[in-house]
Copies of this chain bind each other. A is one copy, B any other.
């Protein structure tokens, strides 16, 4: 039996909830230092907070030189589910209400199998996490899918790499199955929210989060809020033209960034190079595994293989050129690089940095850090938990 939780009654309670989420257990007095409310008003709101089921008392705090204060904290039994559906694998994690990961599962999986098959898998993984004692049930879930989403309804729209998902009511269906509130968003937005909450972007209001996986996307954060665009497709930078008259892309155009550099493109290029005998390292790996992925290229590169390094550098240059344009346009305070190819590490990062710092104007790049994401594969699931907690911790 699932406990029922209620949304906060007003903006004050919402603010207190986020303070408890981001700062952990806290005394009433300390909360008072952080919000701008009179003692009396604070007492009233704090007293009412447990009625929502989201907050519980937590004993006495240490003395600060006088009477000891009462601690409160978010209900430690609350559980959020973060789901990050990638093109070729799915991550599912359980967090507590403070968005700390308690358990994390990853499984290979092809999104093209369609929503029904994928969610069967996701639900099985969620059940497994529950069976291992991490949760009795879920109080909310945040789902990331690799394509544009009509955000208010939580429905994917015209996702190029996910045929069969167009119009599928993800939010409603999963809410039914899980018996809890669900929010759905593009996976890059979730990654951005994850890095914002617990990663490198904690203190930046305007930043970009470029995710290079099977495809390429970009989370856009404006004033601390994710920007999704008019139809929910903002950040879809994989099909920006990077090479005039370049390679044909699945979208029908030529020279798209994604056709020249992405997990898929990199793997294809590596196979080609191996077959042409350009790299003994890659050729032997191809023979051993029967195929190559970005991971193989990363390994070959760190073994010093020149061809692998060239592939990474060239891809980084292409990506860097596109990012340079976005930096000129958007003037962010930070650029985060993440996704599956993060394993390519500093070779990739150096190539991207070179292009951006060379091509964008000094005013935009002067104080612009370009860094790898801190959270790796957990960014997405933490972002999912963050998404649903933002929803549940806001007034109804």
Contacts and interface: CB of A to CB of B under 8 A. Distances in A.
Interface of A: 148, 157-158, 160, 205-206, 218, 220, 222, 227-237, 239-241, 244, 251, 253, 321-322, 324-326, 328-333, 358-364, 366-368
> Counting chain B CB atoms within 10 Å of each CB, which of A158, A205, A368 scores highest?
A158
A366 B358 CA distance: 35
A198 B132 CA distance: 61
Nearest to A362: B158
A329 B235 contact: yes
Contact of A363 (B157, B358, B362, B368): B157
A227 B328 CA distance: 13
Query: Closest 4 interchain pairs by CB?
Result: A229-B331, A234-B331, A230-B333, A240-B325
27 contacts: A158-B363, A160-B361, A206-B229, A206-B230, A220-B330, A229-B330, A229-B332, A229-B364, A230-B368, A231-B331, A231-B363, A231-B364, A233-B331, A233-B361, A233-B363, A233-B364, A234-B330, A236-B361, A237-B328, A237-B329, A239-B361, A240-B325, A240-B329, A241-B324, A241-B325, A241-B359, A253-B358
A38 B173 CA distance: 42
Contact of A240 (B222, B231, B324, B367): B324
A362 B326 CA distance: 20
A55 B368 CA distance: 46
Nearest to A158: B363
B253 A359 contact: yes
A232 B360 CA distance: 14
Contacts of A157: 363
Contacts of A359: 239, 241, 253
A160 B361 CA distance: 9
A229 B361 CA distance: 14
Given A321-B241, A364-B233, A326 B328 contact: no
A390 to B, nearest CB: 17
Contacts of A330: 220, 229, 234, 329
Contacts of A329: 218, 220, 234-237, 240, 326, 329-330
Given A229-B206, A229-B332, A236 B325 contact: no
Nearest to A322: B325
A20 B25 CA distance: 49
> Counting chain B CB atoms within 10 Å of each CB, which of A157, A229, A321, A324 scores highest?
A229
